Amino acid sequence: MAIQSKPVQKLTPFGAALAGALGGCFSTAVVYPLDVAKTRIQALPASAKGKGKDNLSMLAVLLRIYKTEGVSGLYRGFGATMLNTFSMQYAYFFFYSFVRNHYISRLTRKLPIGSKLPPLSTAAELLLGALAGALAQIFTIPVSVIATRQQVGRPNGSPSQSGDDSFLGVAREIIAEEGVAGLWLGIKPGLVLTVNPAITYGVFERVKSLILLAQAKAGTGSKLSPLLSFFIGAVSKTLATVVTYPYIMAKVRIQARSADAEDGQDAPPLSPHHTKAHSKHVGALQILSRVLQKEGVVGWYQVLAMQGMQAQITKAVLSQALLFMSKEQFEHWALGIMIIAARIS
């Protein structure tokens, strides 16, 4: 029996991807209503600033959704988001494990026999994370576009032209209106935002290695506690979110097409998937440039943006911290699944 389990004692890229995907789905499901509120706040055009700061707080938006749409409104687009989370996390962790292992193997081959490979530098960790994130984005962004439009919903419950707000129904409408390329709206800011998980995981791994080194010297253990993992994950994600928030907001507005409405086009801000086709969409740089001209750099983080950033940090930090806290457990489960699969085959 021991011989059979040897090949899977260490997680392969597929195993690491499975553990990351399951952990991502778990953490996203726990905070999903916050994700819906966050998306709706960020999707609003700049004209919504006049409605008042209180109306745009996460709690106010959650209560408004509950009153007007019920519990189902808090879980609008849940299936698409779970599919997006699973595919994105699986692709990210697979590519990250694959690229990282390949890079480490190349470095190891160049070392003298018997030499130990030093820890990867922060720059190397960030670069590997960004490369993995870019590959994952290319393959999974269509699901993200559909999930975003489902979460934003339709204004005042207006009916759709096709009468189908399902995952496939929204996908068909997007393709009919804008072609297949419509499923890749926001790909450019999405690629830029690969630095977000790169910063998150780079900072987490660096802080983790320093703490483990300190614990080893003090003789207090060789593993992080779940609470400490939660805290380090929260700090790492907060830093990454603050750095990349302007592009996060721009990406959501592009995918929800509220940026088109703000630019004077005919797509209403809360009716993202039953409007006429547009030949050209406002880009992320145009959105950021418009805010910069009107309000300066601080405008990216003020008023509506501030509410959106607070919502982004609340949702993202809780989700990421839960993922880091439960990651080791999901790795054990993934390893168990691989052992069972190896024995069956």
- For each successive 10 residues of the chain (345 residues), what is the average pLDDT? 45 80 89 87 62 66 90 89 87 84 85 76 79 85 85 59 73 86 82 82 82 82 80 86 80 66 48 48 76 72 58 79 81 83 79
The pLDDT of residue 275 is 46
The pLDDT of residue 338 is 80
User: What string of DSSP letters covers 227-268?
Assistant: HHHHHHHHHHHHHHHHHHHHHHHHHHHHHHTHHHHHTT-S--
- Residue 313's contacts (CB-CB under 8 Å, 6 or more residues apart) are 237, 238, 241, 242
The pLDDT of residue 267 is 45
Q: Is 19:331 a contact under the CB 8 Å cutoff?
A: yes
Return the structure tokens found at 92.
Answer: 């990210």
The pLDDT of residue 276 is 47
Cα–Cα distance measured from residue 85 to residue 169, given in angstroms and rounded to the nearest whole number: 20
**Cα 185 to chain center, whole Å?**
16
**CB atoms closer than 10 angstroms to residue 202:** 24
Cα–Cα distance measured from residue 126 to residue 113, given in angstroms and rounded to the nearest whole number: 28
The pLDDT of residue 67 is 92
For the chain, the maximum distance between any two Cα atoms, rounded to a whole number of angstroms, is 69
Cα–Cα distance measured from residue 139 to residue 320, given in angstroms and rounded to the nearest whole number: 21
Q: Which of 42, 35, 112, 11 is nearest to 255 (CA)?
A: 42
Cα–Cα distance measured from residue 36 to residue 33, given in angstroms and rounded to the nearest whole number: 5
The pLDDT of residue 53 is 47
Q: Which amino acid is at 139?
A: F
The pLDDT of residue 266 is 44
Calculate the alpha carbon distances from 140 to 144, 176, 245 in Å: 7, 20, 20
Read off the DSSP letter of residue 155.
Answer: G
Cα–Cα distance measured from residue 273 to residue 150, given in angstroms and rounded to the nearest whole number: 8
The pLDDT of residue 101 is 84
Q: Is 284:247 a contact under the CB 8 Å cutoff?
A: yes
Q: Which of 251, 255, 249 is nearest to 309 (CA)?
A: 249
According to DSSP H, which parts of the chain are helical?
Answer: 2-5, 13-30, 32-43, 58-69, 71-74, 78-110, 122-152, 167-178, 187-192, 195-218, 226-256, 258-262, 284-295, 303-344
Say how many residues make up the chain: 345
Model's pTM, two decimal places? 0.64
Three-class DSSP category at 140: helix
